[in-house]
Amino acid sequence: MVELTLNGAAIQLDAAPGTPLLWAIREQAGLTGTKFGCGIGACGACTVHVDGRAVRSCSVPVESAAGRAVTTIEGLAASPEALHPVQQAWIEHQVPQCGYCQSGMIMAIAAFLETNPAPTDDELAAAITNICRCGTYQRIRNAVQSLGAAVVEEVRNV
């Protein structure tokens, strides 16, 4: 039994020791917005926040989150009416296609923008290595730019 804070609420997760945080979130807590992509931390689909930092939840055991504050895509918005700015930008710029990677993508970028609110394109690309198989990267850049980052023009070079 692991005790932690999940999306602001104290919770006990009844997961076997060693179970990745991902599967405890999905199966014990029943929050399926966090996705399984690769199981080895290579794609980022499972990204959540642990104490505000982006973590690939498939590759850390649930015990590592004991006593910490875990936020998933379901808990990113302050309320259903007040989406996080990254979520809002994703709708405005029509970013998702299949959408499977986007929970992790949004969580990774939301955490990154907390540390670097106006990244250059190189900084964004170096920090965000999540895979989107549908190839929505251009709209991701547009959406991040709309949040104050000056990322697009130097890449566009037109």
Partner 1 sequence: MSEDQNPAPEGQANPEQPAKKSRLRKWSRRAFIGAGAVAGGGLVLGVGGVILAPNRLKYLPAGAVDGDGQLNTWIRITPDNLVTAQIPHCEMGQGALTGLGMLLAEELDADWSLVEIRQAPAEDVYANGYIIHAFLGEVGFTPPAWLFRAMDFTAFKMADIFGIMTTGGSTSTRGTGAFGMRLAGASARAMLLEAGAERFGVPIEELTTSSSRVVHAASGQSATYGELAAAASALDLPRRPTLKSREQYQLVGTSQPRADIPSKVVGQAQYGIDVVVPDMLYAAIMRAPIPGGQLTSVDQAPALTVAGVTQVVVLPDAVAVVANGYWQAQQGLNALSPQFTDAGVGGVDSDAIHAMHVSALDAEPMEATLEGARTVSAEYRVPYLHHATMEPMCATARMAEGRLDVWCGTQDPLSTRGVAADAAEFEPESVTIHNQQLGGGFGRRLPGTYDYVEQAVHVARAVSPRPVKLIWSREEDMRHGYYRPCVHSRFRAALDARGRPLLWGNRFTGGFGDGSAATPHYAAEETDVQAVELPVHLRTGAWRSVAASQHGFFVESFVDELASAAGRDPFEYRRELLEEEPRHRAVLERAAEMADWGTRPPDGRARGIAMVESFGSIVAQVAEVGLDESGGIRVYRVDAAVDCGLVVNPQQAEAQIQGGVVFGLSAALFHEISVRDGAVVQRNFPDYDMVRLANAPWVNVSFVDSGAAIGGLGEPG
Residue ranges in contact with partner 1 by CB under 8 A:
15-16, 19-20, 23, 27, 30-40, 42-43, 45, 72-74, 76-77, 80, 83, 87, 90-91, 94-103, 106, 124-126, 128-141, 152, 155-158
Residue 123 corresponds to which tokens in the numbers above? 């900084």
Minimum CB separation from partner 1 for residue 67, in Å? 21
Q: Rank residues 27 and 63 by Cβ distance to partner 1 and give the closer one.
A: 27
Q: Rank residues 4 and 48 by Cβ distance to partner 1 and give the closer one.
A: 48
- Going 18 to 24 to 25 to 29, the CA torsion angle's sign is negative
CA distances from 74 to 26, 31, 96, 117, 139 (A): 12, 7, 16, 22, 22
Minimum CB separation from partner 1 for residue 122, in Å? 8
Residues 6+ apart with CB under 8 A from 149: 113, 117, 118, 119, 120, 124
Minimum CB separation from partner 1 for residue 152, in Å? 8
